[in-house]
Amino acid sequence: MKRFSRFFTFLLAFILCMSIGIATTLADDGSYTVFVGGVELTIDAGNTVAYATNDAMGAVTTVGADADHHTIRFELVEGVPTVTLTDATVQNAGGNGIEAVAGDLTVVGVDTPANGENAVSGGKNGIFARGAITIKGAMGDITGGTDGGIYSTQGNITIAEGAVLGDLHSEWYTLQTDNGNITINGKVGDVTGVIGITSEYNHDVIIAGQVGKIQGTDYGVFAYKNFSVAPSGRVGDVSGNSGGIMAIANVAIEGTVGNISGTHGIYAMEKVEISGTLSDITGQCAIRSINSDVEISGATGAIRGNGGAGNTGSSYGIRADAGKVVIKKAVGPITADSEGQGVSVVAIRAQTGIELADNLGIKVPEQNKIDVYGDTYYTVFDLAPAQGTEAAVVADRVELVNVYTVTYRADGKIVATVRVEHGMDAAPPEVPAKEGYTGAWDGDGKAITADTVINAVYTLIPAEDTPDSVDPEIPPTGDGAQPGLLIGLLLASAGCIMSGIFCGKKGRKAEEN
């Protein structure tokens, strides 16, 4: 229901923005309004300033607040509505801690030796705007409730370079934009919620600064386009029950990240590229790309498929469903284990192959297991820098096991399919019988190195001899002879002889005449 209502919030905001542009003003007179701790602060087009103050419990009031006595200041800075907190504490249990009625919002924290750490909390959101949100300066914890921590419906969220924030927490999606990118260039403490960080509707999450742990009961990070950690980025552990890092497009990690864990540790619809430094990555599938490759050129700890809840499901260390796995630097070990029966337990599944840098030697895998899908697999794949001469490296290297399909066909129909390891022989089935023919396979199925089709070849059996070609039967003689038949044959023979003599005489008589 909450996701459903979020859609209508987004739709309403979109219609509003189409009618007034992404305006930074709601009122017809050109004034700007924000709510801080539930208290309205409004400035007009003349760039006036509105002031407020707060008590120790975070209750905000405008009473007695002026240029000399305030903790909260609202004004236009370079045309953007800006709330500046100076040692403030803002709390609004029934709504948003800070809310921009329309358009963009910048929040700036100023820390002095006075009490107060610029902490903001709200029963709905900590900070909410319909446009872009930018946070600068020194801020304390930002805590939201049912709707989010820092939430924008129509713009980017940027933690500016030099900004220092405390922990971010909510009971929903904590750092969220419905229609913009999330960029962290400053420093942020821990981020926790149902989803820690999410950019929806085809947008990116970019971390070039520093973040503590990112922990979600569902996902740590869910980027609806790309997720990236720049070379300058530093991130603590990232975890979520469903996934640590999820991206609809690509995942690119060039910086440093701690342990990553979830049902999927890292999951991307497109390419996963790790050139930075990671600690351990664990999950039922630790690293997975659906439509592209997984490439690791950085340093990682163990990459482990753990079989999921109860360690009874299928288990993969690295899986590239439609691409290849490329490993250019020592990683691992890469392992997979599961106590389930009849499930896939594979350290690396690479649909189009595994590519290793020449300087990598592979330790002998333990419990080598071939998956039912074929391709290239090991249950334990421990990569280490090769030692010694190139000859020694080659000697220590274990040949990857490829499994091929040999298909036997007869008259266009499949008789059997046989799975065969690289270089091994296929055990042929019997050739189906065909009346009037002898059959044989057109291939011997030996030393298989690729998927192979072997067809049945049938040869016509020659027809039996006809009666015209049968030799005459020799009648029996001796005790088994039949006297009547013998006499008849003799008489017939005598008749033929007499006829021959008569014909011969008649012919000679004619010649004489």
Write the CA distances from 289 to 247, 266, 490, integer angstroms: 10, 8, 99
Q: Using alpha carbons, select from 246, 243, 244 the residue that is nearest to residue 227.
A: 246
Residue 369 lies in a domain: yes
Q: Give residue 359's pLDDT.
A: 59
pTM, entire model: 0.69
Query: What whole-number percentage of the chain has pLDDT above 90?
Result: 54
Residue 233 lies in a domain: no
Number of domains in the chain: 2
SS3 155: coil
What gap in Å lies between CA 209 and CA 162, rounded to an integer?
Answer: 9
Please tell me whether residues 407 and 303 are part of one structural domain.
Answer: no
Q: b vs e for 223-243, b when ≥16 Cβ sit within 10 Å of the residue's Cβ?
A: bbbbbbbbeebbbbbbbbbbb
Measured in whole angstroms, the distance separating CA 339 from the mean position of its chain's CA atoms is 23
What gap in Å lies between CA 315 and CA 323, rounded to an integer?
Answer: 18
Please tell me whether residues 298 and 383 are part of one structural domain.
Answer: yes
Please tell me whether residues 388 and 436 are part of one structural domain.
Answer: no
**Domain limit, last residue, from 460, 481, 498:** 460
Please tell me whether residues 411 and 389 are part of one structural domain.
Answer: no
The residue range of the domain holding 273 is: 259-400
Beta-bridge mates of residue 278? 257
pLDDT confidence bin for 84, thresholds 50/70/90: very high
pLDDT confidence bin for 423, thresholds 50/70/90: confident
What gap in Å lies between CA 196 and CA 179, rounded to an integer?
Answer: 17
CA dihedral for 338, 344, 350, 354, sign (positive or negative): positive
Q: Using alpha carbons, select from 126, 162, 129 the residue that is nearest to residue 146.
A: 126
Q: Which residues contact 467 (CB under 8 A, 6 or more apart)?
A: none
Residue 197 lies in a domain: no
What gap in Å lies between CA 490 and CA 116, rounded to an integer?
Answer: 144
Q: How many CA atoms lie within 13 A of 217 on its CB side?
A: 8
Please tell me whether residues 385 and 291 are part of one structural domain.
Answer: yes
Q: How is residue 184 annotated by DSSP?
A: E
Residue 293 one-letter amino acid: D
Q: How many CA atoms lie within 13 A of 175 on its CB side?
A: 36
CB 83 within 8 A of CB 92: no
- pLDDT at residue 163 greater than cutoff 90: yes
Please tell me whether residues 310 and 413 are part of one structural domain.
Answer: no
Residue 191 lies in a domain: no
pLDDT digits (tens, 9 = 90+) for 447-503: 888 889 999 999 998 876 555 444 444 444 444 444 444 334 434 444 443 444 333
What angle (nearest 5°) sits at the alpha carbon of residue 403, between those of residues 402 and 406? 140
How many helices and strands in the chain, by DSSP H and E? 3, 50
Q: Give residue 500's pLDDT.
A: 42
Phi then psi dihedrals of residue 279, to 5 deg = -85, -145
Instruction: Pick the more confident residue, 363 or 175.
Output: 175
Please tell me whether residues 345 and 383 are part of one structural domain.
Answer: yes
CB 393 within 8 A of CB 414: no
pLDDT digits (tens, 9 = 90+) for 274-309: 999 999 999 999 999 999 999 999 988 889 999 888
- pLDDT at residue 356 greater than cutoff 80: no
Q: Using alpha carbons, select from 210, 98, 186 the residue that is nearest to residue 148.
A: 98
Please tell me whether residues 361 and 277 are part of one structural domain.
Answer: yes
Q: Give residue 422's pLDDT.
A: 72
Residue 165 lies in a domain: no
Q: Give residue 441's pLDDT.
A: 94
Residue 54 lies in a domain: no
For 87, the token pair is 């040692």
For 215, the token pair is 């922990």
CB 121 within 8 A of CB 58: yes
Please tell me whether residues 386 and 422 are part of one structural domain.
Answer: no
- pLDDT at residue 40 greater than cutoff 90: yes
Residue 449 lies in a domain: yes
Please tell me whether residues 371 and 441 are part of one structural domain.
Answer: no
Mean pLDDT of 146-172: 97
Mean predicted lDDT score pLDDT of the chain: 80
